[in-house]
Structure 1
Amino acid sequence: MMIRLVSAALVAGFLAAVVATGLQFALTSPLIIAAERYESGEATAPAAQWMPRGASPASLIVPVHSGHDHGGKTDGVEGGEVAPAWQPGPGLPRMVFTALATLVGGVGYALLLGATLIACGREPSPETGLRFAIAGFLAVALAPALGLPPELPGMEAAPLAERQFWWIMTAAATAMGLYLIAIRRSPIAIAGGIVLLVAPHLAGAPETSHAASALPPGYAAQFAARSLGIAFVFWAVIGLAFGWAWNSVGRKNPATSHA
């Protein structure tokens, strides 16, 4: 069982990473490069309305936030300046790092998807995998994005720890709420699930200063829409590929069955 689960997760994660990485390079990477030009002062634009702080192309797949933490100062740094976070160099290093991060995230989410299917007593198949993958997209990508949209470089943000805590809380509450509504289905479970879905957004995402940005307003909107679209495709491929790979790995060899 464990070998079958890991094998199917590796296949699904690899296929999803290949598709998502290609879409990231084609759709979101150009926006990130353009935003970095505005951040460094190489390009200018009218002040835009505030949007949250920038993240890597895989921000909705591997939910880590790159760039500076604007929420406070770092001890031990001369002048009280915030120590810059490590980032891969431009060009090939960034492409490789993005692809590896997407691959690790894909395999990890595929393992989680498979474990959830088994724990819920569902036989993995492409159809079942797709349904659970859509739930994963809702919990991990769409619900957190309602409070913390995918972010381009050069935008202000709340402290990193607060953003990460709110993301984890929202993803966990949404996943549990969907489980209660779609799996348990009793009136009490449905009511509790609705409460869990709404609670993180009633609490509110971490707030930050509404500082103006040099980025054109359309950049942030395009990046958010494209990132969510890529995340949906990423999760859909994971679900379909995991169901297919699970049945392929578990299929008995005819020669073995007649032995």
Structure 2
Amino acid sequence: MADFRKLVAVSLLAGVLGGLLLSVLQHYQTLPLILAAEQFETPSAEQAHDWQPSYGWQRNGFTWLFNSLTGFGFALLISAAMYWRDQRGYLYGLGWGLAGYWVFFVAPSLGLPPELPGTDSAELHSRQAWWLFTAAVTAGGLFGLFLSRQRWLQIGGVGLLVLPHIIGAPHPEVAHALAPEALQQQFVIGTAINNAVFWLALGALSGMALRKVTFS
């Protein structure tokens, strides 16, 4: 139990710092693109009455809170994996951060890239199911490919990595977006860069913090 509390403390520190870093990157890199895309939308009467955080400290504060909570959860996964493998230091952390980036962002984004407001999408539940399936089998594939010495598990790992993309992500029959294609491409690239920095920072911070902690 004492070790678990230490892992939680390490993950909370990494999550808060990683969430702050991601929030700053989003504020300057992707938020302007989202605001630009929202100009192409025509708000409905229902949307007009929904509460939304105002631009400024409210939106920035909620963004930082959400990113910190997300970072805490992901950092806990990284710290637990490093604890399980008895690994410490920022280099190991960078490796686990890269793995997390691939599992939770790159692989799902190959089928469902980040979208700006005003973009038509497939039904939400089908997209969520495909995203979760892709993340799960990608994690299993990386485990078999890099953390196993048995040839059949390595071959199976490769198969798992490509399986979701053979099945294919759900998409609407007719794709339509209000924002220009160039704006969408900028958003995809900016989001990919932001998440790469976020995951590598989570890994490095977790690895460095774990090196300072003594476990029983």
The C-alpha deviation readout for 1:197-228, integer Å capped at 9, x for no partner, is 01111111012132433311111101011101
Aligned partners of 1:87 and 1:201: how far apart in 2? 37
Structure showing greater Rg: 1
Counterpart pick for 1:207 among 171, 175, 180: 171
Match of 1:118 in 2: 83
Aligned partners of 2:157 and 2:178: how far apart in 1? 41
Question: Which one has a larger percent helix, Structure 1 or Structure 2?
Answer: 2
Alignment pair present for 1:221 and 2:185: yes
Question: Mapping of 1:1-259 within 5 angstroms?
Answer: 1-40=3-42, 88-91=52-55, 92-119=57-84, 121-250=85-214
Aligned partners of 2:70 and 2:116: how far apart in 1? 20
- 1:244 counterpart SS class: helix
Report the residue type matching 2:17 in the other structure. Answer: L
Residue 8 (structure 1) shift: 0.9
> Structure 2: any 5+ residue segments left out of the alignment?
none
Aligned partners of 2:98 and 2:175: how far apart in 1? 35
Residue 87 (structure 1) shift: 6.3
The C-alpha deviation readout for 1:105-156, integer Å capped at 9, x for no partner, is 000000011112223x232221111101100000000000000001100010
TM-score, structure 1 normalization: 0.77
The C-alpha deviation readout for 1:132-189, integer Å capped at 9, x for no partner, is 1100000000000000001100010011111111110000110110011010032101
- 1:39 counterpart SS class: coil
Report the residue type matching 2:132 in the other structure. Answer: I
8 Å CA contact 2:78, 2:96 repeated in 1:
yes
Residue 83 (structure 1) shift: 8.8
Residue 249 (structure 1) shift: 3.3
- 1:206 counterpart SS class: coil
Aligned partners of 1:245 and 1:145: how far apart in 2? 30
> Structure 1: any 5+ residue segments left out of the alignment?
42-81, 252-259
- 2:173 counterpart SS class: coil
Aligned residues: 212
The C-alpha deviation readout for 1:73-107, integer Å capped at 9, x for no partner, is xxxxxxxxx999x6632313222221111000000
Identical residues among aligned pairs (%)? 36
- 2:122 counterpart SS class: coil
TM-score, structure 2 normalization: 0.91
Aligned partners of 1:189 and 1:93: how far apart in 2? 48
Aligned partners of 1:27 and 1:113: how far apart in 2? 26
Aligned partners of 2:64 and 2:193: how far apart in 1? 17
8 Å CA contact 2:121, 2:175 repeated in 1:
no
